[in-house]
Amino acid sequence: MSLQQCKSLLKKARVVLAPGLSNEEMAAVETRFGVRFPPDYRALLLEVLPISDGFVDWRRDDPSTIREEFDWPYEGIYGEVEHHQFWLPDWGKRPKDSTKAVTIAEQALQQVPVLIPIKGHRYIPATPNEGGNPVFSIVGLDIIYYGADLVEYLENELSSDITGTHRYHITEPVKSIPFWSSLVD
């Protein structure tokens, strides 16, 4: 990932950029949400903090709102389990009782990589804790890659603002993320 490419894309799209988080602020965010940011997203947030157009403002957004954004992908899956009979074979035999099925799904999803919200329903996995993780777009079980890495995600996300034309391109192969990649359409 090129930090300069990310900054350039954000500036071209006229995203409001605040000064980056301090090391102390980053540590506080990671502690509060029980996650370690992957190094490329971490480096970006230490350099500049996108604060407009729906980007998570890690400095000023209400922590309960950010917590809801962390929970969004999981809540969507629980809803699919409860209301639409979604079930994975790895979870064993599906109980007839939807409440029990959701409980099993909740226990299973505690073992998958945590997703960190970036903007709206776009997420980057916390693990593996290395650069180059893909960015997912998640609404319920409608899960796609929105970038093979952080730069490509920003190119796709901000293309309309920069060029007036929506761009959606995913460079193959995309790093496989346990559980989440298996749900990509």
Give one DSSP letter per residue of the chain, joined into a string. --HHHHHHHHHHTT--EEEPPPHHHHHHHHHHHT----HHHHHHHHHEEE-STTB--TTTS-HHHHHHHHHHHHHHHHHHHHHH----GGG-SPPSSHHHHHHHHHHHHTTSPPEEEEETTEEEE--S-SS---EEEEETTEEEEEESSHHHHHHHHHHHHHHSS-----PSSPPP-TTTGGG--
Q: 124 vs 3, which has greater pLDDT?
A: 124
* Residue 53 confidence class, pLDDT cut points 50, 70, 90: confident
Residues 42-52: tens digit of each pLDDT? 999 999 999 99
pLDDT at 1: 54
Residues 83-107: tens digit of each pLDDT? 999 999 999 999 999 999 999 999 9
pLDDT at 32: 97
* Residue 164 confidence class, pLDDT cut points 50, 70, 90: confident
Residues 121-158: tens digit of each pLDDT? 999 999 999 999 999 999 999 999 999 999 999 999 99
Q: What's the average model confidence in pLDDT over 4-24?
A: 96
At residue 69, does pLDDT exceed 60? yes
pLDDT at 130: 96
The whole-model pTM stands at: 0.95
Residues 20-35: tens digit of each pLDDT? 999 999 999 999 999 9
At residue 185, does pLDDT exceed 70? no
Delineate the domains of the chain, giving CATH numbers in brackets.
3-183 (3.40.1580)
